[in-house]
Amino acid sequence: MRRALRAPRPPRERLVPTVARWPLEVDLAVEKGHSSDASTAVVRQSLIDYRAGRADRASGAWDDQITWHVRGGPPVGGTWVGADGVFAYHALVQRLSEGTFQQHLVALEGCRGSTVSAYLRTTAERGGRRLDIPTLAVFELCGGRIRRVTELPGDSDAWEAFWGG
């Protein structure tokens, strides 16, 4: 199922600061780490800004038509389009999990190219069920900006059972 949330976005010079957060924990070593890989540096700074609630700064590193694709079915699976779509996805998982959805960034690795991998641990509670799985988020950049993110739950059966029930 493809879900697209498209919202018009004002030109960059008229952006009003947005408060949106990715419920992401980042180890100090990862947050303070330096990389000679330019793409990894862009992703790292965007993650740090987004988790801190500086969504306007984080999305400044995103392509205007960024897509965040989440493997799986409804209600959270699909493709979220634009900064507002990405914000809506993270707000949805927070709402559905009553604020318990959390991801922990374990490692961030680049390949001296346009792809950066974020290794995450995803946890949440919902309706008496607990989710605790590894997750891979693959960031694809074009022209130094994040164009596409693909989020791959490490245990798709557990992911589907958790969100689907």
For 48-98, the pLDDT digits (tens) are 999 989 999 999 999 999 999 999 899 999 999 999 999 999 999 999 999
Mean pLDDT over residues 95-111, rounded? 93
77: which residues sit within 8 A by CB, 6+ positions away? Answer: 1, 3, 70, 71, 163
**Is domain 22-164 in CATH 3.10.450.50, yes or no?**
yes
Tell me how far apart the alpha carbons of residues 18 and 67 are, in angstroms, rounded to a whole number.
19
Tell me how far apart the alpha carbons of residues 115 and 18 are, in angstroms, rounded to a whole number.
27
Tell me how far apart the alpha carbons of residues 63 and 56 are, in angstroms, rounded to a whole number.
13
φ, ψ of residue 90 to 5 degrees: the values are -70, -35
